[in-house]
Amino acid sequence: MPSRQRTFRVEAVILRHQDWGEADRLITLFSRERGKLRAIAKGVRKTRSRKAGHLEPFNRVSLLLAQGRELPIITQAETLTAYLSFQDDLLRLGYGATLLELVDRFTVEEEANPALYFLLVETLERLNQSEDVWLDVRFFEMKLLDFVGFRPQLFQCVICGEAIQAQDQFFSCELGGVVCPNCAAGQRLLLPVSMPALKYLRHLQRSTYREARRAKIPVAVQKEMEAHVQRYLQAILERALNAPRFLRSIAQLTKHQD
């Protein structure tokens, strides 16, 4: 844990906030320097507060904090980047909320992870401009699993260790990777995974973003990939994520409007 200085400055992304007392807010943020932090923003619920607009979810900010008795207190806030397209596009908002929720759930307080911080900022930038937000989020999920120590094994069977052959396989959330057909007998809670879905999951896992963008993934395969990754994330966390539910409601709303 970092030494407790009386005041310190961080660059951070605001993950969420909640009301605290009569006029304050408890801000959860993910910082480059110290990882996830909770801090008090005093008086930001008052109409004259100058800090309130800077401390909204998604904003990338520069903050000056003073160490309080229990939690740091935000004394200065400056917006570095505001991702304005999220305000007008429900789909981008939903995918952006997915990123924030995953970072919040997979990190612990005051444990710096600069690689994950820069991945989050880069992906928010991409979501703010990109036309293929689905790929941006899937790439983020695969890299996040690397950075937090839950990289799934996709190239060898997690039971026998043999290289995976070019045929349909099985995936075990419990074991954290692919199980070959020879080892599948008698195993519990295995999910079938097609070779095309496995191929593209491997591609995202080992590629740079530029390389990943070259993939032309059929819609049916996208759905299968997303389902497997969502199950794996939820199995690790031992609870369902909120953002995918929001995205499903957006999809239903769009469908009814069409």
Nearest-CA neighbor of 94 among 225, 233, 243, 252?
Answer: 243
CB 36 within 8 A of CB 108: yes
- Looking at the domain assignment, is residue 172 inside a domain? yes
- Looking at the domain assignment, is residue 1 inside a domain? no
- 77 with 122, same domain? no
Per-residue pLDDT at 1: 44
- 73 with 198, same domain? no
- Residues spanned by the domain of 14: 7-81
CA distance 212 to 196: 15
Residue 116, φ and ψ in degrees, nearest 5: -70, -35
- Looking at the domain assignment, is residue 2 inside a domain? no
- 135 with 24, same domain? no
- 113 with 222, same domain? yes
- 131 with 210, same domain? yes
Boundary of a domain, candidates 53, 81, 109? 81
- 136 with 239, same domain? yes
Per-residue pLDDT at 78: 96
- 50 with 89, same domain? no
- Looking at the domain assignment, is residue 159 inside a domain? yes
Per-residue pLDDT at 255: 56
- Looking at the domain assignment, is residue 108 inside a domain? yes
CA distance 62 to 9: 7
Token pair for residue 215? Answer: 């993939």
Q: Using the 8-state DSSP alphabet, how is residue 153 labeled?
A: B
Which domain CATH number covers 202?
1.20.1440.120
- Strand-pair category, 24-31 with 169-172: unpaired
Which domain CATH number covers 36?
2.40.50.140
Per-residue pLDDT at 256: 53
- 178 with 108, same domain? yes
- Looking at the domain assignment, is residue 31 inside a domain? yes
CA distance 87 to 93: 7
Residues of the chain with pLDDT below 70 are 1-5, 252-258
- 102 with 77, same domain? no
- Looking at the domain assignment, is residue 211 inside a domain? yes
Boundary of a domain, candidates 81, 108, 124? 81
CA distance 169 to 159: 13
- Looking at the domain assignment, is residue 167 inside a domain? yes
Q: In the chain, what is the greatest distance between 2 CA atoms, to the nearest angstrom?
A: 67
Per-residue pLDDT at 11: 98
Per-residue pLDDT at 257: 55
Tokens 């937000």 correspond to: 133
How many independent structural domains does the chain possess? 2
- 121 with 213, same domain? yes
Nearest-CA neighbor of 126 among 95, 80, 105?
Answer: 95
